[in-house]
Amino acid sequence: AFCYFRVAQLTTFEVTKSIYLRAKKSKSTDDDDSTVTLSAFEAAICGAAAGSFSAAITNPLDRIKTLMMTDTTNAYGGSVVTCAAKILKDDGLAGLFAGVVPRVAYIAPSVCIFFVTYEFVQQKMSTSGTEE
C-alpha cells in the first residue's frame, strides 16, 4: 500500500544525501581521499527533507485512497480516476493536497528516526566488512 511512498522516500533520501555529501566533501580541508559520511544529525536532516518531500508528493494518492476506503455511499465513483476527477471538480487542484501539512508533520519525525538508524547500520556494516 505504501510502495509508492517508500520508493519516493528512499530515492529522495539517497539524492539528498549524495548532494549533501558532495558539498561536505568540497568544503573539507582534509587532503586525504577518505570517505565522507553523515553524522546522526545530518542523517536526521536529510531524512526529514526526504520524508517531507515524499509525504507531500504522494499526498494526492493518499487522499484518493482514503476517500475510496471510507466511501460507503459510492459518492466518489469507485475508481481512482473518477475519485480524482470528483476531487478536482469539487475542490480544484488544492483538493488533492488537502491534509498535506498534518501528513508531513506526522511522517517527518518517524522518517528522521528511520534514516538515522539506516545510516548507522549501513556505516557499521561497511566498516565491519573492511576490518580484517
CA distance 84 to 46: 31
And the C-alpha cell for 34? 577518505
Of 75-79, 83-87, 125-129, where does mean pLDDT reach its minimum? 125-129
CA distance 130 to 101: 43
CA distance 12 to 4: 12
Does residue 78 have a pLDDT over 80?
A: yes
Does residue 1 have a pLDDT over 70?
A: no
- Tell me how far apart the terminal alpha carbons of the chain are, to the nearest angstrom: 42
Using DSSP, state whether 132 is helix, strand or coil: coil
pLDDT (0 to 100) of residue 72: 87
pTM over 0.85: no
